[in-house]
């Protein structure tokens, strides 16, 4: 599996995928560092004013198609901003907003702020397709990368997101988008291969199961900000 540093450097070398110059600087900064430890979450709380209208801190979003960011790994948040910047990931709102945040420190601080919030967590309730989803989660080897609770074991190395407790509707939308080739989840197409074998009902079951998982908080080891 390609490391996070290798992903960063390959993106910088590709003229088609090359991001905004400011984010290119972030990538170089983070290619040899732990993104989770790079930002100031106290400063990020104020800077996240641009984000909290949709990504509500510590609470369910008004629109279930919008992903929860509370407790998400900072490196993944930064990585996805890069994806919007270089056009590999597209969304009318996010593609525009990603280009508004043009300061390296601001991006790192916002990511650090969300990563320090209590991690999203499902109810553990067994929804109608829970057991089917549980079986699919294991048979599709989702836990190999995302962990048994939807929390990756090596987020700072591979840039894997926390998915346990994520909004079901968002998960369904994402999985179908990857299956259709509308979103590139990884450079090797592994996720698309997995989802290409799943029916719509399979995806619904898998999303139901993942959304109920109680993700485990794995706060990064970094300096404390108490301003």
pLDDT of residue 2: 43
Distance in angstroms (rounded) separating the CA atoms of residues 193 and 179? 8
Q: Which two tokens stand for residue 21?
A: 């110059």
Q: pLDDT means per 10 residues in the chain (227 residues)?
A: 46 44 51 61 94 87 90 90 87 91 88 93 83 95 89 66 94 96 86 95 96 71 38
pLDDT of residue 37: 52
**Residue 149: helix, strand or coil by DSSP?**
coil
Question: Is 174 within 8 Å of 183 (Cβ atoms)?
Answer: yes
Question: Is 105 within 8 Å of 99 (Cβ atoms)?
Answer: no
pLDDT of residue 102: 78
pLDDT of residue 29: 52
Q: Which two tokens stand for residue 109?
A: 């601080």
Q: Which two tokens stand for residue 17?
A: 């995928």
**Exposed / middle / buried, residue 198 (Cβ in 10 Å: 0-12, 13-18, 19+):** middle
Cα-Cα-Cα-Cα dihedral of 115, 44, 34, 67, to 10°?
A: 40
């Amino acid at each position: 599996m390609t490391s996070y540093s290798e992903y960063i450097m390959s993106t910088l070398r590709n003229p088609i995928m090359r991001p905004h110059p400011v984010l290119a600087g972030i990538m170089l900064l983070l290619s040899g560092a732990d993104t989770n430890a790079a930002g100031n979450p106290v400063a990020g709380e104020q800077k996240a004013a641009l984000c909290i209208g949709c990504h509500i801190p510590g609470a369910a979003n008004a629109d279930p198609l919008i992903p929860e960011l509370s407790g998400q790994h900072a490196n993944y948040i930064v990585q996805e901003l890069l994806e919007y910047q270089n056009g590999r990931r597209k969304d009318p709102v996010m593609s525009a907003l990603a280009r508004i945040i043009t300061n390296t420190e601001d991006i790192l601080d916002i990511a650090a702020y969300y990563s320090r919030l209590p991690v999203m967590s499902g109810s553990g309730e067994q929804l109608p397709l829970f057991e089917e989803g549980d079986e699919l989660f294991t048979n599709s080897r989702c836990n190999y990368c995302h962990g048994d609770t939807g929390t990756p074991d090596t987020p700072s190395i591979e840039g894997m997101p926390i998915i346990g407790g994520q909004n079901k509707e968002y998960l369904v939308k994402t999985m179908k988008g990857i299956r259709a080739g509308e979103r590139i989840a990884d450079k090797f197409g592994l996720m698309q291969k997995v989802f290409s074998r799943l029916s719509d009902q399979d995806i619904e079951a898998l999303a139901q199961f993942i959304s109920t998982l109680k993700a485990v908080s794995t706060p990064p080891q970094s300096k404390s900000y108490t301003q």
